[in-house]
Amino acid sequence: MQSETKTKDSISFEDFKAEVLADYKIAVTSRECSLLGRREVLTGKAKFGIFGDGKEVPQLAMAKAFKNGDFRSGYYRDQTFMMAIDQFTIENFFAGLYADTNIENEPMSGGRQMGGHFTTHNLNEDGSWKNLMEQKNSSADISPTAGQMPRLLGLAQASKIYRKVEGIEADKFSNNGNEIAWGTIGNASTSEGHFWETLNAAGVMQVPMVLSVWDDEYGISVHARHQTTKESISEVVKGFQRDEEHKGFEIIVVKGWDYVALIEAYEKAEKIARKEHCPVLIHVVELTQPQGHSTSGSHERYKDKQRLTWEREYDCNVKLRDWIIENNISNDEELQQIEKEIKKRVREGKKTAWNNFLAPTREKQKELLATLSKLAKNTEEKDAVIALAKKLKSIKEASKKDLAQIARITLRHIRKETSEEKAELLSWLEDFNAAALEDYSSHLYSENNTLPEEVLPEYDETSSEVDARIILRDNFDQIFSNNPETLIFGEDAGEIGDVNQGLEGLQKKYGKLRVADVGIREATILGQGIGMAMRGLRPIAEIQYLDYVLYAIQGMSDDLATLQYRTKGKQKAPLIVRTRGHRLEGIWHSGSLMGGILNLVRGMYVLVPRNMTKAAGFYNTLLEQDNPAILVECLNGYRLKEKMPSNLAEIRTPIGKVETVRKGEDITLVSYGSTLRLVRQAAEELKELNIDAEVIDVQSLLPFDLDHEIVESVEKTNRLLVIDEDVPGGASAFILDQILNKQNAWRYLDSKPQTLTAKEHRPAYGSDGDYFSKPSIEDIFEKVYSIFNEVKPEEYPALS
Ligand SMILES: Cc1ncc(C[n+]2csc(CCOP(=O)(O)OP(=O)(O)O)c2C)c(N)n1
Ligand SMILES: [Mg+2]
């Protein structure tokens, strides 16, 4: 018996020792990467570095509790965690520093993000989902502090939906909602509104989220006393702690250098979150930042001697090492040997990464040199070409930019020549630029997307005129009935079926989780959508009014719109943002922020249907493709009458396609949304004066008129006016740029192309406020008239 116990003990001790030493190795590897990484920046091989030194040990504990199917939503300190879950190697680390564009070498972003921004590959080559239950997942990081928080909420909420909503095909995404979303955030970043909004929402919603705060007392140079009330986030959030009567958070405080306590803390947190779907906040205190915040400066500038001494002593890796020796798990000699080997291994990895990074450009350099050498033999500009070739040859570690510059400058010199050699250089440059385009500019949108064909609404003898909101409502009904993975949530979206009754009765039918009321918190409404869309659901996030999209615009712009791009197509979040706007009442209920939105959300679709039938068709289209979108319903359109289509579920409004809603010969009027109605009316009034306007509804601002139909119209009419209710230079300037520069419509113009917009200020309240703030029928009429006054002053004398 005894000997058996002994054997068992000794085996388990060996296992235990192996596990501890494996952890220690990861911690040391990670630290060594940070140390060498800093040097790579200081010697100029990398541009910038921000590392995970001083935060290693808690990340080992977090990794132990992290299971397949789980998701991380974190920030730039998490390299140790990523190594511990086997998603990040030494070579990857250095490839990230060098901005290697080969996604095999630099799987975090293909060189698009600076190092320290982590991700996992969640999509197959064809853009379809991988089985996320067979891997550990990290949503792709972004730099804005606390920007990871709203998305974290959605990642956690997805588990709740998968657990509670029946009928969803969940194989690739969930096992009964047992997955945890693990957040990480720096102590100082908890000052951001996003942190508080997420915390409150998670407490209300009771979702399986474990949020770790890595607390090193600083946010760059700014001490906690300037950041956090009472200098402690766990102190100030005590009111979130759950108790017998109230649901809330479980709050755990643990020292960041205490390996055993950390493991216990994460085990406890995991159990609570996974089983009970109760969110947990782990405040990890007493962490350090041995090399300072980033490569941009040194922390000696703002930490005093005492702090620096303390940081050396309480460095979590040092403490782990001490603990290993104190507990006889290993000894100094063995550890030294391990450390030596790791140092060597990291140096080797760095070298490999550097060579991998340089190799393809080296090849290209050789090719270009050969091309220039040939050219030098057959050119009038021999001296110049030889000089450029020499320069090229002399560059030891050439960048792509070096090569492109030399090739392009050479072409300037030989601009008057034609030769086979020149053709070869041109073709080399063409290939080189095409590769650069792929490296730096692909995947703004999904590259595997197929949009469904247009299906027009059909009407039969039973089709009656209804309030337009009924069309939306019935369409949502069909959507929810046909697609169990769809859900909608927003302020007043649930019980009353949204402020305009477009969801009337649907909560009763589809339950409180699928048609849901949420708090007034636009940033996290968006975050719910992003996170859930990243886990295979098809969320529709409702922002009550267009004007309040500004609260969510940061997430739309930084997170949602960049997701495909920053992962080079390895993650997607096909979220639909539903909102309503344009032409109602006053400064904050009829703003038209389209120019701002358009410029901030490249990577999303921006759709502006003129009526609810079009809107319904857009929703149906969006659910069959992979890109995120914002759709603006016309606020003043819900109670207008539209005919109910007999094929509601089938209709598909095409994305990126304009519609000519009035044929005409004399001028092309381009507009969208609510304003279009006014433009059509003005066109009828103009007809009375023999001005025959063609009216085009843009419908889809991003993407814009993919078939270039507007230029065809301008070719016919030779005149162009863009009308929109945004500020001057806003969306109308975007539209004009598309038509003039992209579609080259300037060639066909006989009059100056013009825009008619709202005033520069926000629209004033009331009908008169609207009339005098935004383009009116009279404004449109007179603007067009003035164009014809210039052309035919006798027929159209000045009105005033
Ligand atoms: C919205 C935003 N503001 C400012 C910055 C610049 N910035 C980057 S990190 C940082 C400090 C963050 O400190 P903390 O959250 O404590 O994380 P730590 O670096 O200490 O781990 C700041 C101000 C940013 N990235 N995003
Ligand atoms: Mg900090």
Ligand 1 pocket mutation, candidates 220, 221, 302, 559, criterion most atoms within 8 A of CB: 220
The tokens for 450 are 């197929």
Position 349 scores a pLDDT of 98
The pairing of beta strand 641-643 with beta strand 137-138: unpaired
CA dist 112 and 693 (Å) reads: 46
The pairing of beta strand 667-671 with beta strand 629-634: unpaired
Position 454 scores a pLDDT of 97
Position 10 scores a pLDDT of 65
Q: How many CA atoms lie within 13 A of 511 on its CB side?
A: 11
- CA 73 to chain CA mean position, Å: 13
Cβ of 698 closer than 6 Å to ligand 1, yes or no, is no
The CATH number for 753's domain is: 3.40.50.920
CA dist 162 and 180 (Å) reads: 12
Same domain for 677 and 623: no
pLDDT (mean) for 644-660: 97
Ligand nearest to the CA of 188: 1
- Residue 91 vs residues 24, 27, 252: alpha-carbon distances, Å: 19, 16, 35
Kind and range of the H or E element at 251? strand 250-255
pLDDT (mean) for 395-418: 98
> Above pLDDT 90, what percent of the chain?
96
* Residue 232 alpha carbon to ligand 2 centre in Å: 12
* Residue 561 alpha carbon to ligand 2 centre in Å: 27
- Strand, coil or helix: 215: coil
pLDDT value at 592 more than 90: no
**Residue of minimum CA distance from atom 7 in ligand 1:** 145
334 domain residue, yes or no: no
CA dist 156 and 180 (Å) reads: 6
The tokens for 726 are 């945004």
- CA 445 to chain CA mean position, Å: 11
Same domain for 636 and 670: no
Position 676 scores a pLDDT of 96
Each as own residue / partner, the long-range contacts of residues 454-458 (CB below 8 Å, 24 or more positions apart, any chain) are: 454/652, 454/653, 454/654, 454/657, 455/617, 455/647, 455/650, 455/651, 455/652, 456/651, 457/613, 457/617, 457/643, 457/645, 457/647, 457/648, 457/651, 458/645, 458/646, 458/647
> Above pLDDT 70, what percent of the chain?
99
Among the listed residues 187, 182, 165, 163, the one whose alpha carbon sits nearest the alpha carbon of residue 174: 163
**Residue of minimum CA distance from atom 21 in ligand 1:** 186
pLDDT value at 4 more than 50: no
**Residue of minimum CA distance from atom 14 in ligand 1:** 186
697 domain residue, yes or no: yes
Position 297 scores a pLDDT of 82
CA dist 683 and 401 (Å) reads: 52
**Interacting residues of 787 by C-beta distance below 8 A, sequence separation 6+:** 667, 719, 721, 751, 754
pLDDT digits (tens, 9 = 90+) for 150-190: 999 999 999 999 999 999 999 999 999 999 999 999 999 99
The tokens for 250 are 């479980």
Ligand 1 pocket mutation, candidates 59, 145, 558, criterion most atoms within 8 A of CB: 145
* Residue 290 alpha carbon to ligand 2 centre in Å: 12
450 domain residue, yes or no: no
2 confidence band (pLDDT: 50, 70, 90)? very low
202 confidence band (pLDDT: 50, 70, 90)? very high
Position 787 scores a pLDDT of 98
**Interacting residues of 559 by C-beta distance below 8 A, sequence separation 6+:** 142, 147, 150, 151, 527, 530
Task: Tell which of 615, 650, 685 closes a domain.
Answer: 650
Which atom, in ligand 1's list, is nearest to the CA of 77? Answer: 21
- Residue 77 vs residues 115, 570, 668, 676: alpha-carbon distances, Å: 10, 21, 55, 50
Residue type, 542: E
Ligand nearest to the CA of 285: 2
Which atom, in ligand 1's list, is nearest to the CA of 143? Answer: 25
The pairing of beta strand 222-223 with beta strand 218-219: antiparallel
- Strand, coil or helix: 212: strand
- Residue 643 vs residues 530, 636, 675: alpha-carbon distances, Å: 34, 17, 21
- Token pair 């040199």 is found at 369
41 confidence band (pLDDT: 50, 70, 90)? very high
**Residue of minimum CA distance from atom 13 in ligand 1:** 219
pLDDT (mean) for 458-465: 94
- Token pair 């402020």 is found at 499
pLDDT (mean) for 287-307: 93
Task: Tell which of 602, 621, 650 closes a domain.
Answer: 650
27 domain residue, yes or no: yes
* Residue 98 alpha carbon to ligand 1 centre in Å: 22
pLDDT digits (tens, 9 = 90+) for 747-798: 999 999 999 999 999 999 999 999 999 999 999 999 999 999 999 999 999 9
Q: Residue 503 sits in which domain range? A: 465-650
11 confidence band (pLDDT: 50, 70, 90)? confident
172 domain residue, yes or no: yes
Task: Tell which of 632, 650, 668 closes a domain.
Answer: 650
Residue type, 730: G
**Interacting residues of 427 by C-beta distance below 8 A, sequence separation 6+:** none
Position 585 scores a pLDDT of 79
327 domain residue, yes or no: no
pLDDT value at 656 more than 50: yes
- What is the dihedral sign for C-alpha 43, 49, 54, 57? negative
Count of C-beta atoms within a 10 Å radius of residue 302? 15
pLDDT (mean) for 576-590: 88
pLDDT (mean) for 104-122: 98
Cβ of 195 closer than 6 Å to ligand 1, yes or no, is no
Same domain for 155 and 59: yes
pLDDT (mean) for 309-314: 98
pLDDT digits (tens, 9 = 90+) for 31-40: 999 999 999 9
In sequence order, what DSSP letters do the residues of 22-54 get, joined into one string? HHHHHHHHHHHHHHHHHHHHHTTSSS-----TT
- Residue 334 vs residues 326, 368, 403: alpha-carbon distances, Å: 14, 51, 49
Position 584 scores a pLDDT of 75
Position 582 scores a pLDDT of 78
263 confidence band (pLDDT: 50, 70, 90)? very high
Kind and range of the H or E element at 488? strand 486-490
Which atom, in ligand 1's list, is nearest to the CA of 215? Answer: 16
Cβ of 677 closer than 6 Å to ligand 1, yes or no, is no
* Residue 146 alpha carbon to ligand 1 centre in Å: 8
The tokens for 347 are 């140096």
For the chain, how big is the Rg over CA atoms in Å? 30
pLDDT value at 608 more than 60: yes
pLDDT (mean) for 60-70: 98
- CA 384 to chain CA mean position, Å: 46
* Residue 630 alpha carbon to ligand 2 centre in Å: 35
- CA 495 to chain CA mean position, Å: 30
* Residue 554 alpha carbon to ligand 2 centre in Å: 22
* Number of folded domains that form the chain: 4
CA dist 440 and 404 (Å) reads: 14
Same domain for 239 and 112: yes
pLDDT value at 275 more than 70: yes
382 confidence band (pLDDT: 50, 70, 90)? very high
360 confidence band (pLDDT: 50, 70, 90)? very high
Q: Rounded to 5 degrees, what angle do the CA atoms 468, 506, 470 make?
A: 10
Ligand nearest to the CA of 292: 1
Contact yes or no for 300/289 (Cβ under 8 A): no
* Residue 433 alpha carbon to ligand 1 centre in Å: 35
Contact yes or no for 214/188 (Cβ under 8 A): no
5 confidence band (pLDDT: 50, 70, 90)? very low
Q: How many CA atoms lie within 13 A of 131 on its CB side?
A: 5
The CATH number for 108's domain is: 3.40.50.970
- Token pair 């911690």 is found at 27
Q: Across-strand partners of 486?
A: 538
Cβ of 77 closer than 6 Å to ligand 1, yes or no, is yes
> Could you tell me the maximum CA-CA distance found in the chain, to the nearest angstrom?
116
Cβ of 293 closer than 6 Å to ligand 1, yes or no, is yes
Same domain for 155 and 237: yes
Which atom, in ligand 1's list, is nearest to the CA of 145? Answer: 26
194 φ, ψ to 5°?
-55, -35
Count of C-beta atoms within a 10 Å radius of residue 370? 13
456 domain residue, yes or no: no
Ligand 1 pocket mutation, candidates 48, 76, 189, criterion most atoms within 8 A of CB: 189
Same domain for 255 and 186: yes
**Interacting residues of 664 by C-beta distance below 8 A, sequence separation 6+:** 683, 692, 693, 694, 695, 717
pLDDT (mean) for 405-414: 98
Ligand nearest to the CA of 190: 1
Each as own residue / partner, the long-range contacts of residues 319-327 (CB below 8 Å, 24 or more positions apart, any chain) are: 319/57, 319/257, 319/258, 319/259, 320/23, 320/24, 320/27, 320/56, 320/57, 320/257, 320/259, 321/24, 323/259, 323/260, 324/20, 324/21, 324/24
Contact yes or no for 604/627 (Cβ under 8 A): yes
Position 262 scores a pLDDT of 98
Ligand nearest to the CA of 192: 1
3-state helix, strand and coil shares in percent for the chain, rounded to the nearest 5: 50, 10, 40
Same domain for 704 and 606: no
Same domain for 361 and 248: no
- Token pair 């009935």 is found at 481
* Secondary structure of 673-718 in HEC code, one letter for each residue: HHHHHHHHHHHHHHHCCCCCEEEEECCEEECCCCCCHHHHHHHHHC
Q: How many CA atoms lie within 13 A of 396 on its CB side?
A: 1
pLDDT value at 717 more than 90: yes
CA dist 228 and 188 (Å) reads: 7
pLDDT value at 408 more than 50: yes
pLDDT value at 460 more than 60: yes
pLDDT value at 9 more than 70: no
Q: How many CA atoms lie within 13 A of 159 on its CB side?
A: 30
**Residue of minimum CA distance from atom 8 in ligand 1:** 145
8 confidence band (pLDDT: 50, 70, 90)? low
CA dist 153 and 744 (Å) reads: 45
pLDDT (mean) for 125-144: 98
182 φ, ψ to 5°?
-105, 120
Same domain for 480 and 418: no
Position 3 scores a pLDDT of 43
Q: What is the mean pLDDT of the chain?
A: 96
pLDDT value at 439 more than 60: yes
pLDDT (mean) for 5-21: 79
**Residue of minimum CA distance from atom 15 in ligand 1:** 186
* Residue 285 alpha carbon to ligand 1 centre in Å: 17
Same domain for 523 and 384: no
Cβ of 518 closer than 6 Å to ligand 1, yes or no, is no
228 domain residue, yes or no: yes
Cβ of 330 closer than 6 Å to ligand 1, yes or no, is no
Q: Across-strand partners of 602?
A: 604
Same domain for 665 and 646: no
Same domain for 691 and 616: no
**Active site (catalytic) residues:** 589
pLDDT (mean) for 575-583: 92
